[in-house]
Amino acid sequence: MDISSCFNKNFGYSGVTSNMKDVKPLDEIDSYVLFSEHEDVFLFDKDSNKEVWRTSMYGNATCGLLCLVNQWAVIGGEHLIIWTNNKLQEIKEPDLKWIHDMKQTGDYEIEILIDPWSEKSAIWNLNIQTLKKSKIADFNNYKEKPYQDNVAW
């Protein structure tokens, strides 16, 4: 995705406009883009050309999901950050640490892949509304393999 079209001279965050190479899109829908920039994550409204919110996490975000129909966003990395009802919430549970990837499976359901090379590698289900989680399975397919960005799960 070419993210330069998301920004113009009116966008007030100079770090983005002056150093675009550090900005990584995590997910995009019609009017919004979820971005990561170093240890910051922000939701950007393309129509108004403004940030909706910004937050930070330890380490860089590795993945993110947007579902603006249901008004939520989820960011994964060292821990999980959830935006619902216009509120940001950090989820720092040991089972959901070092998130590698996520995918949406229902209106308020996601699956989370925990670091495929760690001893705790697993796939979890999480309900965004209730925050109820359940382990789907251990995930040992990549334990002895070299790192790669794209993991088939």
Say how far apart CA 115 and CA 119 lie, in whole Å.
9
Going from N- to C-terminal start, the domains of the chain cover: 20-138
Q: What is the pLDDT of residues 111-139, one digit of tens each?
A: 999 999 999 999 999 999 999 999 999 99
pLDDT score for 69: 82
10 or 22, higher pLDDT: 22
DSSP of 94-121, one letter per residue?
Answer: GGG-SEEEEEE-SSSEEEEEE-TTSTT-
CATH of domain 20-138: 2.130.10.10
Q: What is the pLDDT of residues 36-91, one digit of tens each?
A: 998 999 999 999 999 999 999 999 999 999 997 878 999 999 999 999 988 999 99
pLDDT score for 68: 72
